[in-house]
Amino acid sequence: MTDNPHERTPSGKPRARQFGIGFEGTPGPLNAITDVAGVSVGYATLISGDGALVVGQGPVRTGVTAILPRPRAELATPVFAGIFSQNGNGELTGSHIVEETGAFNFPITITNTHSCGVTRDGTLRWMQRELPAAVNSAWGLPVAAETYDGFLNDINGHHVSFVHVAQALDGAGNGAIEEGSVGGGTGMIAFGFKAGSGTASRIVEWQGRTHTVGAFVQANFGKRRNFMLRGERVGPQLVEPAIREGTPRAEKGSIIAVIATDAPFLPHQMKRLARRVPLGVAMTGGFGYHSSGDIFLAFSTANADAALGLSGRIANADFIPDTDIDPFFDAVIQTVEEAILNAMVANDDMTGRDGNFVPALPKAWLIEKFG
C-alpha cells in the first residue's frame, strides 16, 4: 500500500491515480483543494441503522461538509467570488450577495437537500461563537449548498443538527482530506455508482509565479449509460453491478462544485472560472438533466485588503489579465473531472433505507482497464 496522497486518501481508500488513470496538468502536493493556502475542509458523517425506513429514526446516511476559504481568524474577510448555475434545480444560499458584490465571507457548507437551512443557520451560530464581532457588527449570509440523498438516507428525518455543523467546522483541516462517502457526500450517487465527496488540484505557472487551483465536488448526478472515463463512454460496459431498489428511486441528481485559487482574479473572472465547471462535469458524462441542480462557486484568496473594501479610501487589487486566463480554465476543467472520479473511486458499496443498494465503481474493472 502506498502512502502517496495522490493515490490514497488519509484512511487508505484508493484515488483514481492509483489505478493508472492519466490526467492532464500538474497536481499540487496533496492533489486537493487544501493545496490552496489557507483553505481547510472538515466533515461530520452520519451513518446508522439498517432496514425499513422509519421517518425520524433512519436508516441514516448523510452528513455535513465544511469548507473554510480563509484561516479561522480571517473568516470575516471576504473573498472575491463568482457563481454559475448550469441548471438551477437546487440551492446555494448566499448566491444573491455573491452576484451583487462579487464576494462572500464565512465558511461554506454542503449537506443534503432538507438540511441546507440547518447548515446555514449552524454556520451563523458557529461564527457567533468563534468570531462574534463578525456577526454583531453586520448581517450574515453564509453560503450553504445541497444535493439529494433520499434514496439511501432518511432525508425527511432531519438528522443533521447544529452539533454536526459545528463538528464539521471545528474539524476543518488543511492537510490531505478524505473522499467518497463522507460529510455531505455520505449518501450520494453518480452514474448509478456510489459517489459523494471528491477533490483535486492543479499548479498553474504564470509569468514566473506559481498559483494553485483546487476543486471540491459533492457528486450526485448522471445516468449510467452516459458515464465517461477519460474520453471513452464506458457506461454501456458497466450495466452490472446495478442499483437495487427496495423502494422506487426518484430521479433527483445534482452536483455542487467549489473552486478555490490563490491566483489574483477579480469577481467577473471568478464567475468565468465557475462557468467552466460544467465542462469538467461533461468530461465524465454529466449533461445537466432537468432534475439536476448543477451549481458552482469559485473564489480567490488573493486581494484580501481589496475584498474587505474599507470605507473612505481607494482600494487596489491585483489581477491576472483576461487574456492570460486560459491555463486557469484548463485547471478548473481538469480538477473537476478528477475530483468527480475520485469521489467514485474512493468508495464502497452502500445499502441504505429499505434495503436500497448502490454499488461502488468496480475496482477489478479499473485494474483491467488501466492496469
> Do residues 17 and 8 lie in contact, with contact meaning Cβ atoms separated by under 8 Å?
no
> Do residues 229 and 284 lie in contact, with contact meaning Cβ atoms separated by under 8 Å?
yes
Residues of the chain short of pLDDT 70, as ranges, are: 1-2, 249-251
pLDDT of residue 250: 67
Tell me whether residue 19 is in a domain. Answer: no
Tell me whether residue 6 is in a domain. Answer: no
C-alpha torsion sign, points 254, 296, 61, 357? positive
C-alpha torsion angle, residues 201, 126, 98, 81 (rounded to 10): -30
pLDDT of residue 2: 67
Tell me whether residue 9 is in a domain. Answer: no
Of 98, 117, 216, 224, the C-alpha closest to 161 is: 117
Tell me whether residue 67 is in a domain. Answer: yes
Between CA 195 and CA 227 the distance in angstroms is 13
Specify the pTM: 0.97
Of 229, 230, 224, 279, the C-alpha closest to 253 is: 224
The residues annotated as belonging to the active site are 254, 292, 294
> For 137-188, where are the alpha helices, taking DSSP H only?
162-170
Between CA 50 and CA 78 the distance in angstroms is 43
Between CA 162 and CA 59 the distance in angstroms is 20
Burial classification of residue 365, based on how many CB atoms lie within 10 Å of its CB (0-12 exposed, 13-18 middle, 19 or more buried): middle
C-alpha torsion sign, points 84, 85, 86, 91? positive
Domain tally for the chain? 1
Between CA 176 and CA 227 the distance in angstroms is 27
Of 273, 326, 236, 290, the C-alpha closest to 36 is: 273
Tell me whether residue 100 is in a domain. Answer: yes
List Cβ neighbours of 44 (8 Å cut-off, separation of 6 or more): 63, 64, 160, 164, 165, 167, 168, 171, 183
Tell me whether residue 31 is in a domain. Answer: yes
Give the number of residues written for the chain. Answer: 371
Tell me whether residue 17 is in a domain. Answer: no
Domain with 111, as residue range(s), is 26-370
Between CA 45 and CA 112 the distance in angstroms is 12
Bridge partners (DSSP) of residue 88 are 293
Dmax (CA) for the chain in angstroms is 64
> Do residues 66 and 115 lie in contact, with contact meaning Cβ atoms separated by under 8 Å?
no
* Grid coordinates of 243: 442499483
pLDDT of residue 311: 87
CATH of the domain at 63: 3.60.70.12
* Grid coordinates of 353: 433505507
Tell me whether residue 147 is in a domain. Answer: yes
Could you read off the pLDDT of 221-276 as tens digits, one per residue?
999 999 999 999 999 999 999 999 987 766 678 999 999 999 999 999 999 999 99
